Each structure stands twice: as C-alpha cells, then as structure tokens.
C-alpha cells in the first residue's frame, strides 16, 4: 500500500503463513494513518463475507506500533486484469462485476460505505474469488454493533483529514460527485457510482472521464455525462 507495509509472515502459534499489515516507518507516528489502519482492521472483521479477507489478529509489535494480520491470498488485482482485458471473455469480466456488487450490497446492509472502490482495491484470488480490499476510508452510517465497537470505529470518522487531498487525487477517476464534495451524508450510492465507473472501463477500455489535470476531471465528474459506451470504439 502507499502508506502501509504489507508482507507475509509465519504465525508461530497456529503454524501458518498470514498477511501482516502495518504502517510504513515514515507514517508510524501519524495519528490519522494509525486510526485508518485500526479502522480497516475493525471494519474488515465486522464484514463477515466471502469477498472480505478475514482479519485474524490486531495488536502492537515490540516497538508499540499497531499491526493486524489477515488471511494471505495470492492473486491479481482488477487493475492488472483490465490492463490485459482482451485476454478475458466478457462473461468472465461480468462475473467479477457481479461479485463486487454482491460484496458492496452486503457491506451496505451492515451500514458500511467503502468510499474507495477502484480496480486497485479489488483482488481476484486463485479460485476465482473476488475480494474487496482497503476499508481504511470506509464510513459506518447505520451501525449494527456493540456500543464499544461503535466508539472505536467512530473515533476515526471524527478526525479531520481522513479523506485528505492526496487520497482524493489518487482515486479521482472513480469518485462520485458526493465524494468529491465530501458530502457528510454520503451513502451506498457513492460506491455504486464507483462500481459503475469500473464497469464502464471494463466494457470500453477507458474510464468515463479522462485527463491529466485533476481539477478538470473533478469538474467533469460533477457536471458532465460520460460518452455513451456504445459510441466508443
């Protein structure tokens, strides 16, 4: 990840290889990134779904820095697949879209909005399973948890800068207008917009809006309608 260190390691208690995630050294002391890491672990643990990688453990290392472990899954990101989309049958690609939609539908039923759906955050596993990654920017708006869990997850929501400009620029091609405007009432429709942008790219090979200047792309997302995909050759 851009701000996270992800590696495989051995769980000596259960004698298995797991995925270990912590912050990169330059972000260890950043309170926002620390809360984002914790929120990703807790929300991933909340979402008990085949398309969410199971969270095994959360804790601190010998230096007091937070980490969490997950199931280790090898595979390809959807970005890697779309880069070679001509190698895949359209029905295979559409099956991936259906699985992503089902994963988001489940998350929304639990009151969780992902807020960062993009091809880089979708992993296709070795058995064809689709896994939605990186819940660090997720929003919980209708919680079905204990009071303690609510306070832990809400702690990050209250922090300014959780969706900073740097993150905005990194995901602008797939962001909904309400994400761009940082609408406090953002809900599941935002994820559906992002999924629609991915579907558009899957069908046409290009994103709904293109450009090299972030500001202009933001204006397009807010004010324009994408070209009919049937007219893209």
Catalytic residues: 116
Contact 24, 76 (CB under 8 A): no
Strand, coil or helix: 196: helix
CB 67 within 8 A of CB 24: no
Q: Is 46 helix (H, G, I), strand (E, B) or coil?
A: helix
For 60, residues 6+ apart whose C-beta sits below 8 A from its C-beta are: 66, 67
Residues in CB range of 125: below 8 A, 6 or more apart: 73, 74, 75, 131
Structure tokens at 105: 């539908």
Cβ–Cβ < 8 Å for 82, 91: no
């Amino acid at each position: 990840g851009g701000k996270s260190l992800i590696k495989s390691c051995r769980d000596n208690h259960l004698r298995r290889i797991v995925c270990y995630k912590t912050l990169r050294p330059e972000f260890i002391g950043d309170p926002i990134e620390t809360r984002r890491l914790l929120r990703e672990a807790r929300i991933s643990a909340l979402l008990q779904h085949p398309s969410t990688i199971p969270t095994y453990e959360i804790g601190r290392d010998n230096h007091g820095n937070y980490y969490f472990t997950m199931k280790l899954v090898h595979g390809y990101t959807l970005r890697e697949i779309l880069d070679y989309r001509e190698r895949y049958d359209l029905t295979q690609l559409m099956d991936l879209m259906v699985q992503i939609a089902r994963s988001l539908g489940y998350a929304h039923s639990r009151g969780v909005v992902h807020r960062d759906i993009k091809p880089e955050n979708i992993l296709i596993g070795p058995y064809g399973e689709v896994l939605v990654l990186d819940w660090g920017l997720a929003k919980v708006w209708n919680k079905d948890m204990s009071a303690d869990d609510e306070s832990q997850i809400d702690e990050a929501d209250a922090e300014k800068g959780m969706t900073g400009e740097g993150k905005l620029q990194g995901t602008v091609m797939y962001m909904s207008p309400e994400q761009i405007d940082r609408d406090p009432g953002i809900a599941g429709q935002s994820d559906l917009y992002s999924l629609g942008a991915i579907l558009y790219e899957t069908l046409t090979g290009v994103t709904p809006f293109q450009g090299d200047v972030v500001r202009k792309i933001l204006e397009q997302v807010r004010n324009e309608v994408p070209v009919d995909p049937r007219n893209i050759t």
